[in-house]
Amino acid sequence: MKRTNVLNTTVAGSGRNPRIDGLRGLAIGLVLYHHLRVSLGVGPPVWFPFDGLLGVCLFFVISGYLITTLLLRERAETGTISLWRFYGRRVVRIFPAFYFFLIMMVVARAMGWVQFDQRGLFASLFYFRNVGSYGDTVLQHTWSLAVEEQFYLVWPFLIAWSPRRFWGAWIAVGLLAKPLLTLAISGGYPTAAVALNSASFDAIFWGVALAFWLNGAGHRWLKAESSPGPARFEAAAVLAMVGLWGLYHTAGQWTGPITVLAPVARNALVAYMLLYCLARGGAWLTARPLVTVGLFSYSLYLWQQPFLVGKIDSLGSLAVRVGGMLVLAGISYYIIERTTLRWRRHFARASHA
């Protein structure tokens, strides 16, 4: 039986992967669903207890996987990693839409439409919003962007400059540091343990670990005739979804070490779902509506916060907020993102992360 080359189905050498965009669409959908549900004062249904943090976790796992795959591929093909090109691509991909959003928020504050202080703006501006508390909701979501930027600042250097024998140790630190620290301090300092949720590097490193596995032993295993076929992958994917449902359905009952183990299990299950979609299934993720939402996911994530967070008490208010979010996210995508992404050709080795 012919096996699919997983590396050819994960990150195409010269184009976007529609399944990745579909996953991004699913991730932003979870964020939008959660914020809308809370703003409308609607409790989570029993059959769908998931929240926006699961969507953010999915973004993190995807990011760790894609960035690491691209770095490993460049090192394998050229023997080195051009950090200048890597950071050039990251700047072009992330900064224009992000700083357009911040500028517009400063204008909105001057008009009296939103409120945030200089500390919160400064923390968002320089990507350390995940450290400390700033009291506003308008820029609160930039904590996740800060986590990703901090990952980008460190991880490429470790891959480019450290010997291969240290890579496993770096991954272990990334996976275990937060859970172990949370476990150590959760008894006497529960507030500090909760604060560590904003340092979700472990979720990113599940994606990193998946990238290493798929670029090594996992690639050989998936190509082997004895590897699980589609039916087993489908069954395992269903079990993973049931496991996620169980984790979220019992979230309010977590105590002691379970508060640490449950997020670890969540990250592992999300990483498996990514593996399933890339290697054996997930054809539904290529549905045009989901892929389209995935293409808009970055701009949607930026603009959903000022519009969807806060009490919504009428259909008119709901329509205005959703409409405003879609208009500004559309402007951000079509005018800012699509224009600046053309600049990436100047940094050679195209990347679609």
Question: Model confidence over 11-47: pLDDT tens digits?
Answer: 434 357 888 999 999 999 999 999 999 999 998 887 7
Mean pLDDT (the chain, rounded): 84
Residue 1 lies in a domain: no
The residue with tokens 């909760």 is 194
Top mean-pLDDT range of 157-166, 237-246, 276-285: 157-166
Residue 263 lies in a domain: yes
Residue 221 lies in a domain: yes
The residue with tokens 């969807």 is 308
Residue 329 lies in a domain: yes
d(CA 332, CA 300): 9
Looking at residue 305, what is its pLDDT? 96
Residue 194 lies in a domain: yes
Number of domains composing the chain = 1
Residue 265 lies in a domain: yes
pLDDT confidence of 3, banded at 50, 70, 90? very low
Looking at residue 284, what is its pLDDT? 81
Residue 332 lies in a domain: yes
Full-model pTM: 0.88
Backbone dihedral angles phi then psi of residue 94, each to the nearest 5 degrees: -105, -45
pLDDT tens digit sequence for 277-316: 777 666 788 899 999 999 999 999 999 999 999 899 999 9
pLDDT confidence of 179, banded at 50, 70, 90? confident
Residue 156 lies in a domain: yes
For residue 134, what is the enclosing H or E element?
none
d(CA 267, CA 264): 5
pLDDT confidence of 227, banded at 50, 70, 90? low
Domain extent for 175: 6-347
178 touches 201 (CB < 8 A) = yes
Taking residues 86-105, what's their average pLDDT?
96
What are the b/e assignments for 14-37, b being 16+ CB within 10 Å?
eeebbbbbbbbbbbbbbbbbbbbb
Q: Which is nearest to 203 in space by CA: 69, 59, 26, 34? A: 59
Residue 235 tokens, joined? 């069954």
